[in-house]
């Protein structure tokens, strides 16, 4: 439970990014060379949080379920994969160009920024606007670039990264870095059926890197060139399963994961249903689970009922049967699919934003992370680093706790500064070894959230920590 004195006011993106860099959560890619736009790297503490989010997702959605299988497909797939999926022709963002600086911007983002500043009576649904409608809106409202310059007409900008492969000198074949992980699941559907005793309904999930040649910058790790996705394709027989019930069940699981397992405040979450004009033609229903980031309500997790479109497309392009045979009725058909897809990096940013607190009374910042997400569960300090007997005892306890928990060792500066440093890292509990420890085998345990302290005997320490962690 958080201290009531801690402020729940939403932090700015600048505050989040500053903390992330200062405490080793996130670094700018290639910073020594001036950085790379839309690209970030996860430092020693950030990678721990990221890894824990992925492990929690995998445990909850894959390992604990009898109807789920895992997959790890390649980043580079056969180029026909992306022709079949429609990415080559239609995986694009609406782009405009500043006529003076030649900087590129997402047209829909310029429209959204305009609407935030100018409250129109009947604002358009930006997500549903076609390129022609965007052009007309930008022209009618004389929208300029962020630098105040005239902009070009809107055109489609394909997000796929092209590269080439070839083993013969002078020869190369065009391929693409995958724009999503889902297509690896669809293209492996036949092999999964052939090698596993599965029956509908069942799902296949994977976590992996995806790449998009993003136009827009400036939202930290929310939108990057390289990111990790966790996607599930849940296959079912539409004649045997009510898709609406399955859809709702997945929504409930997504909500549970975010609020209960990641500990996100439900007041900062909402469901947004896609309008008919916005929804893909092959989708019968699409919802976004949105979070109130410092830059507004944005999608974290999407779920769509994709019918049998993807399997049909790959079947047509490959010439291979991707039908499922019902083992009881022997009916052959192409299964339908419900797809929950989440960006792991967006979950990471959401976790940081939601955990960020200012404690004005104690003049400190803290990350109110769940212990299961914190980079370290415990920190161990000797009260004084120049007293060998304290350091030796602290080291002994540190090594013992390391067998069970991820533990930080800190002897820098005074004890107050160490506490403040661990608060910003999100470490739930700090153990201080002092002279009283040497006298009666007890340690001081300080709780992050309310800064309260308690003495605990060493022979009761494991039992005490088990209850907490």
Kindly give, in sequence order, each residue whose CB lies less than 8 Å from that of residue 387, ignoring residues fewer than 6 positions away.
Answer: none
pLDDT value of position 117 = 87
pLDDT given at position 113? 86
**Hey, is 270 helix, strand or coil?**
strand
d(CA 165, CA 78): 11
The DSSP-derived string for 121-157 is: SS---GGG--HHHHHHHHHHTT---TTS--B---EEE
C-beta separation of 445 from 454 below 8 A: yes
Average pLDDT across each block of 10 residues of the chain; the chain has 469 residues. List them in order: 54 95 96 90 97 98 97 95 89 88 88 87 84 92 92 89 78 87 96 94 97 79 94 97 97 98 98 86 91 95 96 95 93 97 98 95 93 97 94 96 96 93 97 96 96 95 94
pLDDT for 2: 43
The pLDDT, as a whole number, for residue 6 is 58
Correct CATH for 92-158 of 2.40.160.210, 3.40.720.10, 3.30.40.230, 1.10.10.60: 3.30.40.230
Quote the CA–CA distance of 27 and 193 in Å, as a whole number: 42
Q: What is the CATH number of domain 376-468?
A: 3.40.50.800
The structural domains of the chain, with segments of one domain joined by +, span 7-79+176-355, 92-158, 376-468
The set of residues, in sequence order, having a beta carbon less than 8 Å from that of 245 and lying 6+ positions away, is none
- The confidence score (pLDDT) of residue 150 equals 93
The predicted model scores a pTM of 0.90
Q: Which CATH architecture has domain 7-79+176-355?
A: 2-Layer Sandwich (3.30)
Compute the CA torsion angle 287, 288, 289, 292 (nearest 10 deg): -140
């Amino acid at each position: 439970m958080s201290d009531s004195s801690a402020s729940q006011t939403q932090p700015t993106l600048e505050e989040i990014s500053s903390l992330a860099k200062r405490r080793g959560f996130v670094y700018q890619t290639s910073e020594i060379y001036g950085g790379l736009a839309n690209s970030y790297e996860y430092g020693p503490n950030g990678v721990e949080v990221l890894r824990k989010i992925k492990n929690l997702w995998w445990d909850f959605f894959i390992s604990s379920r009898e109807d789920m299988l895992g997959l790890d497909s390649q980043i580079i797939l056969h180029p026909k994969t992306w022709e079949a999926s429609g990415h080559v022709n239609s995986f694009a963002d609406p782009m405009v160009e500043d006529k003076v600086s030649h900087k590129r911007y997402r047209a829909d983002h310029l429209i959204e920024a305009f609407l935030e500043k100018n409250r129109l009576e009947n604002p358009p649904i930006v997500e549903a606007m076609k390129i022609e409608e965007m052009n007309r809106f930008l022209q009618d409202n004389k929208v300029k670039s962020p630098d105040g310059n005239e902009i070009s007409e809107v055109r489609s900008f394909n997000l796929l990264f092209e590269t080439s492969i070839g083993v013969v000198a002078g020869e190369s074949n065009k391929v693409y870095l995958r724009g999503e992980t889902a297509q690896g699941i669809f293209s492996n559907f036949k092999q999964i059926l052939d090698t596993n005793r599965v029956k509908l309904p069942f799902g296949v999930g994977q976590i992996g890197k995806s790449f998009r040649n993003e136009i827009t910058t400036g939202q930290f790790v929310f939108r990057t060139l390289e990111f990790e996705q966790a996607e599930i394709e849940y296959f079912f027989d539409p004649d045997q399963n009510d898709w609406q019930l399955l859809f709702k069940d997945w929504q409930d699981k997504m909500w549970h994961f975010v609020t209960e397992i990641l500990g996100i405040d439900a007041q900062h979450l909402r469901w947004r249903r896609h309008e008919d004009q916005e929804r893909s033609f092959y989708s019968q229903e699409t919802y976004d689970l949105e979070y109130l980031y410092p830059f507004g309500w944005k999608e974290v997790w999407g779920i769509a009922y994709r019918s049998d479109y993807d399997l049909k497309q790959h079947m047509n392009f490959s010439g291979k049967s991707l039908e499922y045979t019902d083992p009881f009725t022997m009916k052959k058909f192409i299964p339908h699919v419900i797809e929950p897809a989440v960006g792991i990096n967006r979950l990471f940013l959401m976790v940081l934003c939601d955990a960020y607190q200012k404690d004005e009374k104690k003049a400190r910042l803290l990350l109110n992370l769940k212990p299961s997400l914190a980079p370290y569960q415990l920190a161990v300090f000797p009260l004084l680093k120049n007293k060998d007997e304290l350091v030796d005892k602290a080291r002994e306890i540190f090594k013992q706790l390391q067998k069970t928990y991820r533990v930080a060792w800190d002897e820098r500066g005074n004890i107050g500064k160490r506490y403040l440093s661990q608060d910003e890292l999100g470490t739930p509990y700090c153990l201080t070894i002092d002279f009283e420890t040497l006298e009666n085998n007890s340690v001081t345990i300080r709780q992050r959230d309310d800064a309260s302290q308690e003495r605990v005997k060493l022979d009761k320490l494991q039992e005490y920590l088990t209850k907490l962690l």
